[in-house]
């Protein structure tokens, strides 16, 4: 049985640890210690060095019945800013922040649910297959830990990522793929007062391009956004260089490709029209995932939710998570809600009962895989 007091105390302890992206050292050490105390042998991979961070992913294999498919349980160790000196406040069954930082329940609730589930499996002698627990680094900085994990060592058939919000039972089964777009527009510098006709304004090219660009919500599964524009030195110089960072997302690859091509065309047309040039580059940040209603993992989740008296609500999400990365590696994976609320803000909060329910759901999922 889930031990509410134990979960609450450990969660409060975990969120007090500073663990910003690429600075997960203390959190990684604390989790290793806890897993070792349970009798397991957690290992740390070399992702830290690859992403310029001070800790790698922590991976812990828990041996189980070989006849049962293995499952990868995943949560990330890092938090967003402001996230140093977190001071959680408990009152009326809610854990809040003191208003100066995020709570870091994203994703310490996920970490805590996995720790508690591992303890309960042992204490209650629950039959299970191999469990691979992976605590990742740098998720908030672009899924960096998950992208740099050694998948030669991951043999799980199923993946349960604990990193979604909403009522317990919400499960993200579809998420978009994302392209990062970079455009460098080049014009020609000239004195803005004495010979402006000799100049070509990169800012004008950028505005011409963007004014013709479809942005925002493109359709029900496609979005696009210009996020950053940099350029210009002084009012008396015709600007010769503008750098633009943008993104496009879609749950359908062909739509993502079409939107990306459209953005490129807008830049190129504007540059040609005004006599400048553009260097355009698009790179895939992560792949989409789409778990069908009749897949094995969904059947397991349905049964597990019913057993735990939880209403299962499969939904599409517009965001990316470690789920996108492991799905791309061929693991049947979903992202389940752990009850985190108002994440990435100083109003972040979680109900203690939701945290307990999320852990119960996780144990029920593991039980049902077996």
Instruction: Catalogue the active-site residues.
Output: 78, 139
Q: How far apart are CA 222 and CA 234, in angstroms?
A: 37
Q: Where does this chain bind Zn ion (CB under 5 A)?
A: 106-107, 163
Distance between start and end Cα atoms, the chain: 18
Side-chain half-sphere exposure of 6, counting CA atoms within 13 A? 14
Q: Quick one: how far is CA 211 from the chain centroid? A: 31
Instruction: Report the nearest approach of Zn ion to the CB of residue 343 (Å).
Output: 7
Cα–Cα nearest to 106, from 78, 86, 85, 87: 78
Smaller CB separation from Zn ion, 19 or 132: 19
Q: How far apart are CA 252 and CA 223, in angstroms?
A: 11
Instruction: Report the nearest approach of Zn ion to the CB of residue 139 (Å).
Output: 6
Smaller CB separation from Zn ion, 138 or 276: 138
Instruction: Report the nearest approach of Zn ion to the CB of residue 106 (Å).
Output: 4
Contact at 8 Å (CB) between 251 and 175?
yes
Residue 62's DSSP bridge partners are: 131
Q: Report DSSP letters for 161-206, one per residue.
A: EEEEESSBTEEEEEE-EEEEEEEEEE-B--BTTT-GGG-B-HHHHH
Smaller CB separation from Zn ion, 10 or 106: 106
Instruction: Report the nearest approach of Zn ion to the CB of residue 295 (Å).
Output: 24
Q: How far apart are CA 176 and CA 315, in angstroms?
A: 12
Smaller CB separation from Zn ion, 148 or 260: 148
Q: How far apart are CA 40 and CA 224, in angstroms?
A: 45
Smaller CB separation from Zn ion, 18 or 296: 18
Instruction: Report the nearest approach of Zn ion to the CB of residue 100 (Å).
Output: 20
């Amino acid at each position: 049985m889930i031990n509410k007091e134990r979960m609450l105390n450990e969660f409060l302890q975990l969120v007090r640890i500073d663990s910003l992206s690429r600075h997960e050292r203390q959190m990684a050490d604390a989790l290793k210690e806890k897993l070792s105390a349970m009798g397991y042998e957690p290992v740390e991979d070399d992702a830290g060095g690859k992403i310029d961070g001070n800790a790698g992913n922590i991976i812990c294999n828990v041996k189980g019945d070989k006849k049962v498919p293995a499952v990868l349980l995943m949560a990330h160790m890092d938090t967003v800013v402001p996230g140093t000196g977190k001071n959680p406040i408990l009152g009326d069954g809610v854990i809040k922040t003191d208003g100066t930082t995020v709570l870091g329940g994203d994703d310490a609730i996920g970490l805590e649910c996995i720790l508690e589930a591992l303890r309960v499996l042992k204490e209650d002698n629950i039959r299970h297959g191999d469990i691979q627990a992976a605590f990742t680094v740098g998720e908030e900085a672009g899924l960096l830990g998950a992208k740099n994990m050694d998948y030669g060592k991951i043999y799980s058939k199923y993946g349960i990522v604990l990193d979604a919000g909403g009522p317990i039972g919400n499960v993200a089964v579809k998420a978009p793929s994302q392209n990062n777009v970079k455009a460098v527009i080049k014009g020609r510098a000239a004195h803005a007062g004495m010979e402006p006709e000799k100049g070509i304004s990169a800012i004008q090219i950028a505005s011409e391009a963007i004014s013709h660009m479809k942005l925002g919500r493109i359709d029900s599964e496609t979005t696009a956004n210009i996020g950053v524009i940099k350029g210009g030195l002084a009012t008396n110089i015709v600007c010769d260089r503008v750098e633009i960072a943008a993104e496009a997302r879609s749950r359908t690859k062909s739509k993502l490709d079409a939107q990306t091509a459209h953005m490129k065309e807008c830049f190129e047309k504007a540059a040609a029209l005004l006599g400048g040039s553009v260097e355009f580059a698009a790179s895939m940040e992560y792949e989409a995932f789409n778990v069908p209603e009749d897949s094995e993992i969904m059947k397991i989740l349905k049964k597990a939710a019913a057993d735990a008296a939880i209403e299962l609500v499969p939904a599409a999400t517009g965001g990316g998570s470690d789920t996108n990365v492991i799905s791309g590696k061929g693991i049947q994976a979903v992202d389940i809600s752990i009850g985190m609320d108002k994440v990435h803000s100083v109003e972040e909060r979680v109900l203690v009962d939701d945290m307990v329910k999320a852990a119960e759901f996780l144990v029920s999922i593991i039980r049902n895989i077996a």
